[in-house]
Amino acid sequence: MKLNKLGESDLRVTEICLGTMTWGEQNSERDAHLQLDFALAHGINFIDTAEMYPVPPGPATYSRTETYLGSWLAKQKRDKIVLASKVAGPGRRDWVRGGRTELTRENITEAVNDSLKRLQTDYLDLYQIHWPGRNVPMFGVTRFDPSKETQAIPILEQIEAMAGLIKAGKIRHYGLSNETTWGVCEFLRLARAHGLPPPLTIQNCYSLVNRMFDGELAEASFREKLPLLAYSPLAMGMLTGKFAGGAMPPRTRLARFADFGERYKRELVRAAAEEYCQLAKSRGLSPTEMAMAFVRTRWFVASTIIGATDLAQLKQNIDSVKVELDAETLAGIDAIHRRYPSPSA
């Protein structure tokens, strides 16, 4: 498994990162441990989680994923694993710290302390802000709406909170997630202006059907040496071929959670996915192999975050690192992209 350097840090992570968002909802603790053992045995050293997981979130399952991961992590050699988690952004979730979800210094500190307890570790290698605390378009919304503007915790206060956690040894680095180009640049500007640590990474959605990162964010990534941790590379399974012909397998997340993943249920997403799957098969590849391999070809991607509900899926995702896309396949992908530019964005 190839190792990639995270920005200007000394962290080296595998090109595949094990995601955990199904653990505690679709997967049991035993399932989680089996996945972790399998991933570790296949060379993966990078694990990503969040206090909000599993997804879809709810009061009965909140933080269960970190607890499952922690019971496994307690038996491992901690220094062999690069561990990332996230603090939830603001939202109507009274069951997160009694509704205290604003990204204040106090809330961020409380959140990381709680995560460390659940994870049974003294530190996190990377601690990410799960989504911005200000009004931004995200999770399938693409237009900025000034009418939704509300008072938000200053970005400087968030940076100062992260700097304090680094100084205390509770985290080694911090990162952003579901962030915009303006947000990235503002975090970097303020960190430099105040002599504080800058963010190390950005974790945003990226796949064949969501290539929004290719534009302004890619420029910021290049100039600021801020690599992408790409999540949802298979578009919640749409790029695996299992939804071909309008199928809706009952055990999939899109079928089980009717109000979840709306951006992947759009007609143009289905149409694009069908064409990508046909292209993969014409090139002698499985749709999963091509979708995963494509994300790996992007110069700004440091690691691709995968999620699986069983070991067969996990194996297929990991095995995709053996696939290299040739020029003809990449040209076919570009042709489809011109017809369906980021339909799930």
CA-closest candidate to residue 44, choices 76, 18, 75, 77:
18
User: For position 111, what pLDDT does the model report?
Assistant: 98
Active site residue 127: no
CATH superfamily of 3-339: NADP-dependent oxidoreductase domain (3.20.20.100)
pLDDT tens, residue by residue, 40-56: 999 999 999 999 999 99
Q: What is the mean pLDDT of the chain?
A: 94
Task: Say how far apart CA 39 and CA 90 lie, in whole Å.
Answer: 32
3-state SS record for 34-76: HHHHHHHHCCCCEEECCCCCCCCCCCCCCCHHHHHHHHHHCCC
Q: Is the dihedral of CA 320, 32, 237, 209 positive or negative?
A: negative
Task: Say how far apart CA 49 and CA 27 lie, in whole Å.
Answer: 14
Instruction: Give the pTM.
Output: 0.96
Find all residues with CB under 8 Å of 293, minimum gap 6, and list them.
285, 320, 323, 324, 325
Question: Domain extents for the chain?
Answer: 3-339
Q: Measure Cα distances from 316 to 68, 138, 262, 275, 301 in Å.
A: 23, 29, 25, 21, 20
3-state SS record for 74-130: CCCCHHHCEEEEEECCCCCCCCCHHHCCCCCHHHHHHHHHHHHHHHCCCCEEEEEEC
pLDDT tens, residue by residue, 116-157: 999 999 999 999 999 999 999 888 888 999 999 999 999 999
Residues 119 and 73 sit within 8 Å (Cβ to Cβ)? yes
**List 53, 62, 127, 174, catalytic entry:** 53
SS3 at position 158: helix
pLDDT tens, residue by residue, 283-328: 999 999 999 999 999 999 999 999 999 999 999 999 999 999 999 9
Q: What confidence category does residue 271 fall into, taking pLDDT thresholds of 50, 70 and 90?
A: very high
Q: Which of 68-72, 168-172, 184-188, 265-269 shows the lowest per-residue confidence on average (mean pLDDT)? A: 265-269
Percentage of residues in the chain having pLDDT higher than 70? 99
What burial class does residue 10 get, using C-beta atoms within 10 Å of its C-beta: 0-12 exposed, 13-18 middle, 19+ buried? exposed
pLDDT tens, residue by residue, 223-241: 999 999 999 999 999 999 8
Average pLDDT over residues 8-15: 96
